[in-house]
Amino acid sequence: MDALLILGGLLLILAGLVWLVMRAFGTSLLWGWGSLIPPLTLIYVVRHWRHARQAVMLTGLGFIPLIVGLTLLASQDSQRLAAIISLEWLKPEEKAPAELAIELHGELNGQPFLPQQGELIDGVLSLREGQDFFARREVIIRLPEPVKGPVRLDVLPNDPGVLPEVEVSWLLPEQELPEARRLSKGYTLHLSLEPVAPNKLAGDFHLVLPPQFKTTLSGKVELFSDGLRYRDGVVDRRVDSIDTLRHVIEDYLQRRFATRAVQLAPLPPLALPASSLEVTVNATINGQAQQLPVLLKKVEGRGWGVEADRFPALPDVAAPAVAKTDSSVAPAEQRVSRPVDRRQRFSLDGLLRNPSRYQNLSMRVTTERGSVAEGRFQGVDQQGHIVLRQRMNGPGEASYSLSPEEVSRIELLEP
């Protein structure tokens, strides 16, 4: 509504000014040309008020919806109004620096190909142009086997055997779905990529498809080798990817158990993007297999993290200079390497005496009637009831409030 009022007011003002100039030309040719200069326009309005008053009134009428629209915009979005008044929209948009240094020359399907994204993950190389769900133009090369480290590959049109599969796709403006073509032979490919810390591959890329595909690409490429992204040398936790979640969980388990000997099993399929995820993690910690429930939450500005994560950072690992024992240091190291297992000596009385010690830990409660409730401990309410919360498969959750008198058995399911 505010935009319509502002636009309507500006149109009325413009119409009034045009009408005023036409009236000036009707008075005389000299006044007509002079009215195009603002100071002389005011002189014309004063000298020939009878001819100019209707145009001036229309111009003044346009200020009414303009002021009302600006007032509404200021009350609803003051930052937008400030940006309009400061004329920031006239300044050229500053482009963010590209994450990857890709310098390819050539064409795809007869059109220039300027990819902004590239990766080589699990043996699949992709170069993609466009930020939408469907790429504007894309090249995908599926290698016969995943590779680690440097990549050296040369394919000629007459080479036999199992070769990489090449797929090119493009989306025309009048199309809703992209077109794709696949080749398993008859093309020329040269790859020479070297690892670049922390998670990139960079080097030469050369691809020539048969003439009917009108695709020839040659130059330098830089590719991500996993789903992690870095900012100032630190993993960016705001990125929605399985590798980001693995990093967050692995870091959490290392600090929780005060050890770097943590090996994660593959995570189950997860629906991304999301704001929270509950994952059952299988991991080997200090040589022992464990299964732990982990609740992941994405916080605006900070990214992914584990709920109720209050464990301190691990000390930096330093190479031992001299092999000698120090009785004053040994007990501290022993305490750090052995995290407290709160399942030991856990009881209902201990939970009621110190509920904050077990906050957000997973528990299972069996009542006198034989009912079983399982969830994360949320504390003790004002009536002295034990409160558990359990996330459901859908977006909802279940909450249990249990009186201590009706509890026959209570178990702590994690350290």
**Predicted confidence band of residue 321 (pLDDT cuts 50, 70, 90):** very low
Encoded tokens for 376:
């994360």
Q: Is 230-306 a domain of CATH 3.10.450?
A: yes
Q: What is the pLDDT of residue 369?
A: 81
3-class secondary structure, 270: coil
Can you give the residue ranges of every domain in the chain? 2-90, 103-224, 230-306, 348-412
**Predicted confidence band of residue 156 (pLDDT cuts 50, 70, 90):** very high
Q: What is the pLDDT of residue 329?
A: 43
Mean pLDDT of 291-314: 89
CA distance 18 to 14: 6
User: What is the helix (H) or strand (E) element at residue 180, kind and residue range?
Assistant: strand 179-183
Q: For residue 55, report the phi and psi dihedrals to the nearest 5 degrees.
A: -65, -40
**Predicted confidence band of residue 91 (pLDDT cuts 50, 70, 90):** low
The residue among 15, 109, 128 whose CA lies nearest residue 62 is 15
Can you say whether residue 222 is alpha, beta or left, with left for phi > 0 and alpha for psi between -120 and 50 degrees?
Answer: beta
User: What is the helix (H) or strand (E) element at residue 10, kind and residue range?
Assistant: helix 2-27
Mean pLDDT of 251-277: 90
pLDDT tens figures, 189-212: 999 999 999 999 999 999 999 999
Q: What is the pLDDT of residue 324?
A: 45
**348-412 fold:** SH3 type barrels. (2.30.30)
Q: What is the pLDDT of residue 323?
A: 45
CA dihedral 188, 189, 190, 196 (to 10 degrees): 170
CA distance 294 to 358: 15
Q: Is the pLDDT confidence value at 397 over 60? A: yes
The conformation of residue 406, written as its DSSP 8-state character, comes to G
Percent of the chain with pLDDT over 70: 88
Percent of the chain with pLDDT over 90: 37
Mean pLDDT of 344-360: 78
Whole-number Cα distances in Å, 373 to 369, 389, 396, 404, 408: 12, 9, 16, 13, 12
Q: Best-predicted range by mean pLDDT among 3-7, 201-205, 359-363, 382-386?
A: 201-205
Q: Do domains 230-306 and 348-412 have the same CATH topology?
A: no
Asked if 275 and 263 count as a contact pair (C-beta separation under 8 A), the reply is no
Q: Is the pLDDT confidence value at 330 over 80? A: no
**Predicted confidence band of residue 60 (pLDDT cuts 50, 70, 90):** confident
Mean pLDDT of 221-234: 92
Q: What is the pLDDT of residue 271?
A: 86
Query: What is the overall mean pLDDT for the chain?
Result: 84
Q: Is the pLDDT confidence value at 163 over 50? A: yes
The pTM (predicted TM-score) of the whole model is 0.56
Mean pLDDT of 321-336: 44
Asked if 361 and 412 count as a contact pair (C-beta separation under 8 A), the reply is yes
**Predicted confidence band of residue 88 (pLDDT cuts 50, 70, 90):** low
Q: What is the pLDDT of residue 395?
A: 54
Buried b (16+ CB within 10 A) or exposed e, 34-62: ebeeeeebeebbeebeebbeebbebbeeb
